Amino acid sequence: MIRPGKIVCVGRNYLEHAKELGNEVPKEPLLFLKPPSSVIGMNESITLPSQSKQVEYEGEIGIRIGKRIFHATEGEARAAIGGIVAVNDVTARDLQKSDGQWTRAKGVDTFCPIGPVGIPPDNLDTLTVVTRVNGVERQRGVAADMAFHIPMLLAYITTIMTLEPGDLVATGTPAGVGKLAAGDVVEVEVLGLSLISNSVAAG
């Protein structure tokens, strides 16, 4: 996996996930960043930091940008998609709640496992993400159920910042998030396109 220049993430993009944490789906996409230093690849370990007692997986559909876009239309954004990747937006849920903003909760080294790049399907709404912990399915989400769909999200991001080749957009997690413990193996798959598997280690 080539490290992205930046990782732009979307919060609360599935109604059922927003509800499970007591939130509403926002009126506009809710954006945040993860640092490129959080990226790990296949079979590397997610390390639990000492500051958190509640580290959770968030399986997500990731978009790898193939072409520079700024102030893009949805059509231009669609054409700029270079590939699809499985992403685990690992989150220290307790720090996310206590800090108010999410840099620490989302930015820990090893908190962004990314799978290999798959070819985008003709119909992005069919993209399906599944998360398994120790082989048991915990999350399943379909892009058709997103509050804000992928071309809209990409176009929206480019009203703020340029998206460049190699950048990654993580499109939000479906319902079913849960805690990870040392010794767990967590796997995120965008069905048929990209799979990332990582073990969890104590810090």
Determine if 187 is a binding residue for Zn ion (CB under 5 A): no
Select the residue interacting with Zn ion from 38, 47, 139, 173 (CB under 5 A).
173
Q: In this structure, are residues 34 and 7 in contact, taking their beta carbons and an 8 Å threshold?
A: yes
Encoding tokens for residue 121?
A: 């399907």
Determine if 96 is a binding residue for Zn ion (CB under 5 A): no
Nearer to Zn ion, 58 or 189 (CB): 58
SS3 content of the chain, % helix, strand, coil (to 5): 20, 35, 40
Please tell me the total number of residues recorded for the chain in this structure. Answer: 203
Task: Please tell me the distance from the alpha carbon of residue 65 to that of residue 88, in angstroms, as a whole number.
Answer: 18
Tell me the residue number closest to Zn ion, measured at CB. 89
Nearer to Zn ion, 36 or 76 (CB): 36
> Between β-strands 112-113 and 39-40, what pairing exists: parallel, antiparallel or unpaired?
parallel
Determine if 56 is a binding residue for Zn ion (CB under 5 A): no
Determine if 89 is a binding residue for Zn ion (CB under 5 A): yes
Nearer to Zn ion, 47 or 173 (CB): 173
Interface residues with Zn ion (CB under 5 A) are 58, 89, 173
